[in-house]
Amino acid sequence: MSRLNTPAPEDVPDGATRNLDRLGAQLGFVPNMFKTIASNPAVLDAVVNLQSTMSRVLDAKTRHTIALAVSEANGCAYCLAMHTYVSSELGGMSSRDIELSRAGGSVDRKRAAAARFAQQVVASRGRVGDEDLAAVRGAGYTDPEILALVTVAVQALLTNFLNNVNQTDMDIPDVGSPGEPG
């Protein structure tokens, strides 16, 4: 059971309804995470705007790969379920690639490097080593792209933390542990 209050639809504060409507149109439903965040329109705006902005800096499969790798590292069941759903249903990722992403890999060499780097950013709290930067650069990422990789990882951390604090009620299928059926 969620630990933070989720406003009833008629009690959603002014300014949050527009974002919820857009999310519902985009995803086909409004996820519980966003319903809860809607209790603070400024936080909802920040999360939605960050996601929108970051959707323009890296391709979707790389963003999904990072989100899955970071969500696995943080043990966020809600985010794993959501990113698995979005990655497979809207992002065209295979079950195998999703499983690899959760483990910090990918069927694509460059995306695998992004996943490993993102997990290292999380594990080291941003204090990655020179070898981590060399590895991600060696996979073909430029410094501006590395900034995007870090920001997408932090975006995933943000929603992981919000959902882990809240223990958000699952409104999408739980995906289980890596290698388990979802």
Whether 155 and 49 have beta carbons less than 8 Å apart is answered as no
182 confidence band (pLDDT: 50, 70, 90) = very low
Whether 146 and 137 have beta carbons less than 8 Å apart is answered as yes
Domain range annotation of the chain: 12-54, 60-166
Judge whether residue 181 has pLDDT over 50. Answer: no
What pTM does this model have?
0.91
| pLDDT tens digit sequence for 126-168 | 999 999 999 999 999 999 999 999 999 999 999 999 999 999 9
Whether 109 and 139 have beta carbons less than 8 Å apart is answered as yes
**Helical ranges in the chain per DSSP H:** 17-27, 32-37, 41-54, 60-73, 77-85, 95-102, 109-123, 130-138, 143-166
Q: What percent of the chain has pLDDT over 90?
A: 87
Mean pLDDT of the chain: 93
pLDDT for residue 173: 66
Question: Tokens 């790798």 — which residue?
Answer: 69
Burial class of 8 by CB neighbour count within 10 A (0 to 12, 13 to 18, 19+): exposed
- Chain centroid to CA 143: how far? 22
Report the C-alpha gap between 6 and 51 in whole angstroms. 21
Lowest mean pLDDT across 46-55, 59-68, 136-145, 173-182: 173-182
What count of other Cβ atoms lies within 10 Å of the Cβ of residue 75? 10
What is the average pLDDT across 30-52? 96
Domain 60-166: CATH superfamily is AhpD-like (1.20.1290.10)
